[in-house]
Structures are given as C-alpha cells and as structure tokens.
C-alpha cells in the first residue's frame, strides 16, 4: 500500500493498514519531524531576530507567513513560496497557506478545533436545494468519530445539540470568567450556544502522551505530545508495527497506471534533496496529500485514457473548491474581575465556539443566505497599550489590565463549479512538476453571510454586556484558506463525482483519495475530525474489499 502524505489523513491511513498487517509505505514530501525541533518553551530573546522581524520570514514565505503560525520559530517547516508556487487569475488572489513539508503536515501547526458534522450538513442539499447531498449519513460515520476522538483526545463540553453532535470528550478545560459571562448571557438573551472550542488538547494522559500544561504556543510543537499531531501519534504507531516505512523528502509527481488493466501500478516521485526521480510499485495507492496537492497529482497523472486528469471521467475533478470564509467578527471589553496580566503565566490554548444558529431545522430560512456559520473566539487579559496620555501617568495606565473577548466567524462556502483548480501549463516548481492555477472568489451567498457574521458578533457582545464593541465584515480578498475541500467530491453518481462514499475513485478501483478533497460540501465546522473519521471508515472498507478480492477487481 502506498500512502501519499503523513498528515491528518495519511497518518490514519498508514496506522489502520499497518496495524492490520498490510505492508505500507508513507511517501512524504517533507522532512522527518522530531521533538528536538519543538520550541514551545523557547523564549523569543533566544532567537536571532527575537521573533520581531516578520520581513525576514516574508522574504522566502510571503504567503505562508500571512498566518502567523509561520514565524521565526517554525518557518523551516513550510515551503518556500518561490520554490513551490501556484498561480491565480489576476482578479482572484488566493492565499494558499499551511503548506507544511514535515512529517505530520498541517497537524504540526493546526488550531485543533475538532467538531462533528451532522445530518444538517450531510443532507443540506435536501433542505435548501443547493448542490448535492453527501453519500453518507451521520449514522455511517458516528462510530468512526467515536474511535478517532478517543485516540486523538478531545477536550469538550456536551451540549446536546442535534446539529453539533457531542462526542467522546476528555474533561473540559475551564472557561475564563469573561468566556463564562459571554456563554451565559448569550444563551439567556439570544438562545445561542457558546461552548468550549472542542479541541484536540489533552486534559488526561493517553497512550504515553501527557496532559496539557498550559504553556501556550502549540503551533511550535509540544514535547509532552499534549495536542494531536500525526507526527507523534498515528505515524509512529504505524512505524512501530514494523510493517510501515516512511519515505521522506519524496515529492510525488504522478500516479503511474497500467492501461491494460486500468489499475494504478505505483507512483513517480522526485527526491527533494537529490532531485532524482524514482518509481514505487504497489497494490493500492492512497492520496492523502491535502486537497489541492492530491488533486494536483491526479491532474498531473493524465493518460491517453484519462486526458483531463486521472479518474476524471466525470469532468468534475478540480471543481467545487470550497474553503471557509472568516472575515466577519467582533470584539469588546469585559471587566477583568480582579485578574491581572502577567508575563509567563499559564496560557489556555483553547477558546470558545459559538455553535451555528442560522438556517437550522425548524427555523424560517434566512432571507439573504443559505447554510450557516459558527464562531471561534477567546478572551484575553493584556496590558492597556491603548491608554491615552504620556509620562508617569501613562506608564501607570498601561499597567492596568484590560480584558477583551473576540469572536471570528467561520462560514460555509457553497460548492460552485466556477471555483476550481487546474494545471497551469506555463509554470513548474523547482522539481519540474507543473503547478496549480487556483480560481476562487466569494459569491453572493458568502458576501451576505459575512455581513451577518459581523452584525451577529456585535449583537452577542452587546447581549453579554461588553464595552467598546467593534465589529468587522469585509470581503475575503485575497481569498483566505486553511480548510480547503471538495475538488474530488464523493457521490453516488459517477457522472457527477470522482469518489464513491469510501473515497475510492469511481474510475480506478485501486486508487483512493482520503483527504478533504472528497467532501461533497464544506460545512462551517472545522474539517479535520471528519477527514480522520472518514479515512478510518474508508480503510475499513478497503480491508474488507481486499479480503473479498485481493486485487480489488
Ligand atoms: C494554521 C492552521 C490552523 C488550522 N486549524 C484547524 C482547526 O482548528 N481545526 C481543523 O479541523 N482544522 C484545522 N486546520 C486544517 C487541518 O490542519 C487540515 O484540515 C488537515 O491537517 C488536513 O489533513 P490532510 O491529511 O489532508 O493534509 P496535511 O495534514 O497537510 O498533510 C498532507 C501531507 O502531504 C504532504 N504532501 C503534499 N504534497 C505531497 C506530494 N506531492 N508528495 C508527497 N507528499 C506530499 C505534505 O508534506 C503533508 O505532510 C488548520 C490548518 C492550519 C494550517
Ligand atoms: S499549551 Fe498544552 S498542548 Fe500546547 S504546547 Fe503547551 S503543553 Fe502542549
């Protein structure tokens, strides 16, 4: 079995298959990750530029560093944007961030918010008529959510919401006083649920991983392995079976086909260090390289039989790109309630989540947009850097602590044909592999939803008694993305989809794509828990099929 990528999906695929006794190779473009690279306890003054020179990071990673998890501590984990570019039309800028090249992929730096989807998501098309239903229901995936959550370790509070199902939670991290006030008043006055952001941070030890000790910057790694990162969980589990090999620095160029049998026979990859090309052979090929990268591989694997991209007899490969909009939200001041800002105190790495409250079952539909959005947020205590004045009075005022709470909307983007990726025939990366051209922009639905994100943030902050409230709602341009999905979508009809419900390509039976590119839509909840649960479900199917027919005929 060849698994391309070692992140959220690839780690699970390798673990499931190797633990079942199958021989697996993980083919990973990045370098091996190790605890010795983790710097969560390293103070900024030990860095060459004191973590103050964003321009230095921008020189090689102007796109990756738009999101501050790519910084002086972590920049080497990310691609060099000039070595591995992509293109966009001039009027549709798109920030493709989170392009990690380390074992563990994006799970090295992810925000860890782990939320289930529900039938309100899987069957949304039946409710509002847009797009397609998923080929699965909540009951198909629920046992896999259970399995993944128990292994990952998700801190959370049960709320009993049908559209945001509860999971197998570890005990919740506490809310701050300001977050508790917000939760209680928003529920009492507006009936909306504010809960702990269900998050892949441990509050109890599991599998040799320690509980979180509240040091704060999870995106720099964690020597106690207290958040979920494939690099120190699923991937080592797979390797420890003795059945799995990790091939690092291996940039997959294409899937190799045997036209006589219409089967994938292996992979062609470029060694990132030597720049030499190599071939690998296998019974089954599973792409888990993150949505755009997996689809780039399929588009670059075109053959005479599949001239528009491998497994693309439907013509939908590359289309229906979705990624959350998150450019509406707000913030406000709250009483400090005696808490003072300290440097070096404990930092809770998990904030709050406001569950979706628009267009739910039994509600009148919103007049301006379909689907919905949730908010991530947090409260913080800081020095009062905005204090007016100067001199001694100013110094005193600055030291007065100020508590604030902010919320940022995460909204569903409707799958649309004209949001798509294709190969740009004019441009290659430094390995000679043709790059993607990404066409993505907001539609009317997104614009109306972003406006409501800003307005509703203000409404909730007011209901909670916040002062100095400010809100924002601006178009998402450049298009901003870390949760991309949908460009090799699953479906029951091979004419309208690339994958079946087990993420097996309709066209080539021994070729699977187990990352978010298979999502039929991209609900407002963060995607990764569902990526992992679907991947385990698809691996179960694959193993059953292999028993039935070893050649997957
Ligand atoms: C800053 C940030 C915050 C996020 N916060 C959240 C959150 O709070 N909640 C949530 O649910 N999700 C979050 N995400 C998204 C989450 O990280 C991804 O959904 C998830 O990691 C995707 O899993 P994956 O397996 O598809 O890809 P990845 O985890 O990115 O793994 C893909 C791997 O494939 C490798 N690869 C790529 N191309 C090739 C190739 N051609 N050949 C070989 N290997 C290749 C890469 O090097 C990488 O290691 C966040 C992401 C980022 C960047
Ligand atoms: S805050 Fe917790 S999970 Fe994050 S790096 Fe520190 S100990 Fe690890």
How many structural domains does the chain have?
Answer: 2
The pLDDT score that the predictor gives to residue 265 is: 97
Instruction: Give the number of the ligand closest to the Cα of residue 112.
Output: 1
Residue nearest to atom 6 of ligand 2 (CA): 215
Q: Kindly report the protein residue whose alpha carbon is nearest to atom 49 of ligand 1.
A: 105
Q: Give whole-number Cα distances, 201 to 73, 204, 350, 524, 552, in Å.
A: 21, 9, 8, 21, 38
pLDDT tens-digit readout, 170-183: 999 999 999 999 99
CB 472 within 8 A of CB 454: yes
Same domain membership, residue 220 and residue 232 = no
Place of tokens 């704060």: 216
Say how many Å lie between the CA of residue 187 and the centre of ligand 1: 34
Cα separation of 453 and 290, whole Å? 28
> 46 burial class (0-12, 13-18, 19+ CB within 10 angstroms)?
exposed
Helix (H) or strand (E) holding 352: strand 352-354
Number of other residues whose CB lies within 10 A of the CB of residue 248: 19
The answer on pLDDT for 143 being more than 90 is yes
Quickly state the pLDDT bin for 552 (edges 50, 70, 90). Answer: confident
Mutate-to-test residue for ligand 2 from 215, 228, 231, highest number of ligand atoms within 8 A of CB: 215
Element (H, E) at 254: strand 250-258
State yes or no: pLDDT of 443 exceeds 90. yes
What pLDDT sits at residue 475?
A: 84
Compute CA 443 distance to the chain's CA centroid, rounded to the nearest angstrom.
22
- Statement to judge: residues 270 and 294 lie in one domain: yes
Q: Is the pLDDT of residue 340 over 90?
A: no
Q: Rounded to an integer, what distance in angstroms lies between the CA atom of residue 237 and that of residue 12?
A: 9
Residues 109 and 242 in one domain: yes
Q: Does one domain contain both 192 and 263?
A: no
Asked if residue 163 is part of any domain, the answer here is no
Tens-digit pLDDT profile for residues 195-246 = 999 999 999 999 999 999 999 999 999 999 999 999 999 999 999 999 999 9
- Residue 487's domain comprises 1-152+228-323+415-439+481-553
Tell me if 214 CB under 6 Å of ligand 2. Answer: yes
Ligand 2 mean position to 12 CA, how many Å? 22
Neighbours of 343 (CB within 10 A): 5
pLDDT tops 80 at residue 553: no
What token pair was written down for 46?
A: 């030990």
Residue 291 lies in a domain: yes
User: 244: which strand partners?
Assistant: 24
Residues 222 and 281 in one domain: no
pLDDT digits over 101-124, tens only? Answer: 999 999 999 999 999 999 999 999
Distance 375 CA to ligand 1 centre (A): 21
11 lines ligand 1 (CB under 6 A): no
Residue bearing the CA closest to ligand 1, atom 14: 110
Asked, for residue 26, whether it belongs to a domain, the answer is yes
Place 516 in a pLDDT band, splitting at 50, 70 and 90: very high
Same domain, 451 and 524: no
Residue 398, domain member (yes or no): yes
Q: Averaged over 157-164, what is the pLDDT?
A: 98
Mean of per-residue pLDDT scores for the chain = 96
**Is 500 domain-assigned?**
yes
- Residue nearest ligand 2's atom 2 by CA: 212
For residue 227, how far is its CA from the centre of ligand 2 (angstroms)? 6
Residue 160 resides in a domain: no
pLDDT range class, residue 479, cuts 50, 70, 90: confident
67 lines ligand 1 (CB under 6 A): yes
Is the domain of 541 the same as that of 399? no
Residue minimizing CA distance to atom 26 of ligand 1 = 290
- How many angstroms separate the alpha carbon of residue 216 from the centre of ligand 2? 6
Residue 345's Cβ-count burial label (10 Å; 0-12, 13-18, 19+) is: exposed
Residue that has been written with the tokens 């790059």 in this structure: 435
pLDDT score of 380: 93
Residue 98 Cα to ligand 1 midpoint, Å, equals: 7
Q: Is 158 within the bounds of a domain?
A: no
- Say whether both 238 and 368 belong to one domain: no
**Ligand 1 center to 295 CA (angstroms):** 14
Is residue 25 domain-shared with residue 77, that is, in the same domain? yes
Q: Is residue 16 part of a domain?
A: yes
Nearest to 513 by CA among 256, 291, 321, 245: 291
Which pLDDT score is estimated for 14? Answer: 98
Taking only the tens place, the pLDDT of each residue in 378-400 is 999 998 888 888 999 999 888 88
- Rounded Cα distance, 247 and 235, in Å: 12
CA of 150 to the centre of ligand 1 (A): 21
Average pLDDT over residues 87-109: 97
**Predicted local distance difference test score (pLDDT) of residue 341:** 82
62-82 b/e with 16+ CB inside 10 Å = b?
ebbbebebbbbbbbebbbbbe
Pocket test for ligand 2, best of 35, 38, 40 (most atoms within 8 A of CB): 40
| 33 shares its domain with 141 | yes
Cα–chain-centroid distance for residue 475? 21
Inter-residue contact 179 to 222 (CB < 8 Å): no
Residue 233 dihedral angles phi and psi, to the nearest 5°: -135, -85
Q: Sign of the CA dihedral 302, 306, 311, 313?
A: positive
| CATH number of the domain bearing residue 525 | 3.50.50.60
Q: Is the pLDDT of residue 477 over 80?
A: no
pLDDT for 481 equals: 80
Closest residue CA from atom 35 of ligand 1: 5
Q: Confidence band (pLDDT; 50, 70, 90) for 474?
A: very high
Same domain, 127 and 240: yes
- Give me the residues paired with residue 270 across strands: 251, 277
Among 454, 476, 498, the domain boundary falls at 476
The model's pTM: 0.98
Ligand 1 atom index nearest CA of 296: 41
Same domain assignment for residues 308 and 376: no
- Ligand nearest to the backbone CA of 78: 1
The C-alpha atoms of residue 327 and residue 335 are separated, in whole angstroms, by 26
Q: What is the pLDDT of residue 385?
A: 83
Given a contact cutoff of 8 angstroms between Cβ atoms, the answer to whether 517 and 294 are in contact is yes
User: Tokens representing 509?
Assistant: 């039976």
DSSP 79: P
Is 212 touching ligand 2 by the criterion CB < 6 Å? yes
The partner residues of 287 in beta bridges, in order of sequence, read 4, 513
> 167 CA to middle of ligand 2, Å?
22
pLDDT attached to residue 476? 79
- Separation of 455 CA from ligand 1 center, angstroms? 31
Residue range 27-66, pLDDT digits in tens:
999 999 999 999 999 999 999 999 998 999 999 999 999 9
Q: Would you give the DSSP letter of residue 482?
A: S
Tell me how crowded residue 352 is: count the other CB atoms within 10 A of its CB.
23
Residue with tokens 């995106």: 219
Q: pLDDT confidence of 328, banded at 50, 70, 90?
A: very high
For CA atoms 324, 325, 326, 330, the dihedral sign is negative
Say yes or no to pLDDT of 301 above 90. Answer: yes
**H/E run at residue 297:** helix 291-300
Q: What is the dihedral of CA 43, 348, 57, 329, to 10 degrees?
A: -150
């Amino acid at each position: 079995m060849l698994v391309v990528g070692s992140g959220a999906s690839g780690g699970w695929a390798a673990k499931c298959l190797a633990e079942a006794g199958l021989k697996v190779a993980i083919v990973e473009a990045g370098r091996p990750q190790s605890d010795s690279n983790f710097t969560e306890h390293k103070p900024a003054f030990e860095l060459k530029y004191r973590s103050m020179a964003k321009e230095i990071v921008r020189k090689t990673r102007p796109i990756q560093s738009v999101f501050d998890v790519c910084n002086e501590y972590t920049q080497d984990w990310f691609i060099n944007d000039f070595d591995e570019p992509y293109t966009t039309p001039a009027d549709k800028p798109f920030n493709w961030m989170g392009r990690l090249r380390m074992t563990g992929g994006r799970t090295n730096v992810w925000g860890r918010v782990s939320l289930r989807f529900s039938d309100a998501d899987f069957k949304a098309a039946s409710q509002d008529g847009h797009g397609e239903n998923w080929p699965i229901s909540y009951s198909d995936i629920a046992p896999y959510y259970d399995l993944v959550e128990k292994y990952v370790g998700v801190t959370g509070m049960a709320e009993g919401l049908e559209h945001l199902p509860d999971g197998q939670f570890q005990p919740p991290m506490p809310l701050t006083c300001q977050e508790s006030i917000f939760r209680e008043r928003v529920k009492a006055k507006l009936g909306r649920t504010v809960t702990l952001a269900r998050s892949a941070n441990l509050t109890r030890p599991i599998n040799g991983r320690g509980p979180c000790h509240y040091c704060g910057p999870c995106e720099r790694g964690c020597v106690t392995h207290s958040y979920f990162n494939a690099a120190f969980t699923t991937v080592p589990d797979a390797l420890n079976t003795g059945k799995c090999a990790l091939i690092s620095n291996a940039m997959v160029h294409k899937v190799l086909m045997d036209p006589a049998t219409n089967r994938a026979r292996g992979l062609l990859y470029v060694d990132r260090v030597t720049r030499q090309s190599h071939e690998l052979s296998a019974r089954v090929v599973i792409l888990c390289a993150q949505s755009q990268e997996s689809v780039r591989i399929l588009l670059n694997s075109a053959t005479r039989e599949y001239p528009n991209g491998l497994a693309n007899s439907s013509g939908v490969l590359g289309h229906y790109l979705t990624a959350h909009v998150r450019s509406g939200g707000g913030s406000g001041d709250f009483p400090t309630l005696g808490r003072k800002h300290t440097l070096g105190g404990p930092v809770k790495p998990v904030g709050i989540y406001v569950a979706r409250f628009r267009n739910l079952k039994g509600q009148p539909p919103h007049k301006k947009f379909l689907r919905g959005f949730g908010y991530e947020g947090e409260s913080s205590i800081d020095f009062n850097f905005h204090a007016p004045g100067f001199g001694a009075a100013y110094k005193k005022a600055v030291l007065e602590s100020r508590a604030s709470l902010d919320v940022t909307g995460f909204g569903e983007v409707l799958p649309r044909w004209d949001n798509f990726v294709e190969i740009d025939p004019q441009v290659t990366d430094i390995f000679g592999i043709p790059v993607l051209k990404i066409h993505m922009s907001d539609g009317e639905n997104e614009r109306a939803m972003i406006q409501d994100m800003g307005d509703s943030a203000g409404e909730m902050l007011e209901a909670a008694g916040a002062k100095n409230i400010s809100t924002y709602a601006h178009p998402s341009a450049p298009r901003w993305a870390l949760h991309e999905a949908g460009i090799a979508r699953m479906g029951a009809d091979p004419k309208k989809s690339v994958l079946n419900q087990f993420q097996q390509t309709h066209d080539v039976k021994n070729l699977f794509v187990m990352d978010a590119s298979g999502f039929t839509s991209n609900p407002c909840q963060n995607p990764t828990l569902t990526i992992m649960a679907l991947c385990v479900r698809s691996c179960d199917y694959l193993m059953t099929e292999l028993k039935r027919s070893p050649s997957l005929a």
